[in-house]
Amino acid sequence: MLNFIFLIGGTALIIFSAGWLVNGASAVAKKFGINDLVIGLTIVAFGTSAPELTVNIFSALKGSTDIAIGNVLGSNISNIFLIVGVAAVIYPIHIHHNTKWKEIPFSLLAIIILGILANDILIDKGNSNLISRSDGFILLSFLIIFLIYTFGIAKHGNLSAGTEEHIQELPFWKSLFFIIAGLTGLYFGGKYLIDGAVNIAKLLGMSERVIGLTIIAVGTSLPELATSIVAARKKKPDIIIGNIIGSNIFNVFFILGTTATISPLPFNAQINFDLIIAGIASVLLFLTTILIGKKIITRTEGILFLIIYVSYITYSVIS
């Protein structure tokens, strides 16, 4: 029972702490005259990735690398099949030109690069599969390329409406309190969540890979899910895809890149299946934009995504 409390409580603490950290850091940046759009593309973007990053760092330090990698791939899969699926069922999603031809293919490229770097035995005939520190730096280098691209389209005003953040101004002492509380909450939330998840996996006879792909991945994706549902219900779904794809790119390049530079990640060959599913998710997302609905993800396609997600989770649990 205590392990489930750690799991649920740790997840909740991480989600709330990420929000506190974003609010505090954004207010400080605003006080120093930094543009709202820049804050949205940096601090807010980091904040939405903070839950996954926290989980991954603690997983790597604890030696639970299957959870670390499973969390990233599981989040990417749930972002497309679950979150986009739910949002599209509520209200069809419009796809912007840049997202369709540049960002979605870039998210697929992230999966391909990860597959190449992780499969040392298959590609280099090595003795083991490892996402090394040098691999981590390669992933972070691609993140820099993506950020340069993002700032470039922001500068020319090509980002979708809603990218610029409304930053709440706070007294400096309150901003500092939020930052400290956010960092503290992320630390303890990550620690308790991983401790609970590892113990539950042992008690239920489930692999750490499955725990990372399912419970933890969905838990750390809850902020994106809640935001997407609200946007869809307000009939403003046009920014959902951009945020989801941006999150997927950050997950691979930033989170796995950072985690690997801190502690190299042994790669379980079984995870190649989930890597392929993540790639298929990006391919299907792209195909929906050029086939049936062209620039729109329809409700029918949303239902299809949800069916695929339920099937994938069911197979992962029972296999």
Q: Which domain holds residue 186?
A: 2-318
Report the mean per-residue pLDDT for the chain: 84
Count of CB atoms situated within 10 Å of the CB of 319: 9
Q: Which residues contact 32 (CB under 8 A, 6 or more apart)?
A: none
Side-chain half-sphere exposure of 186, counting CA atoms within 13 A? 25
The C-alpha atoms of residue 240 and residue 231 are separated, in whole angstroms, by: 7
Task: Give me the number of domains the chain comprises.
Answer: 1
User: How many percent of the chain have pLDDT more than 70?
Assistant: 88
Which CATH number goes with the domain that contains 141?
1.20.1420.30
Question: In this structure, what is the dihedral angle of CA atoms 237, 102, 214, 197, given to the nearest 10 degrees?
Answer: -110
- pLDDT tens across 180-190, in order? 998 898 888 88
Amino acid at 38: V
- pLDDT tens across 192-233, in order? 888 888 888 778 788 888 888 888 888 878 777 777 777 778
Q: What is the pLDDT of residue 161?
A: 47
Residue 77 reports pLDDT greater than 90: yes
Q: What is the pLDDT of residue 312?
A: 95
pTM of the model: 0.84
Q: What is the pLDDT of residue 28?
A: 84
User: Left if phi > 0, otherwise alpha if psi is -120 to 50, otherwise beta: which for 265?
Assistant: beta
- First-to-final CA distance of the chain: 25
Of 124 and 40, the one with more pLDDT: 124
Q: What is the pLDDT of residue 136?
A: 96
Q: What is the pLDDT of residue 27?
A: 84
Question: What is the arithmetic mean of pLDDT over 78-96?
Answer: 89
Min mean pLDDT across 127-131, 159-163, 231-235 is at: 159-163
44: tokens are 């807010």
pLDDT bin (cut points 50, 70, 90) of residue 46 is confident
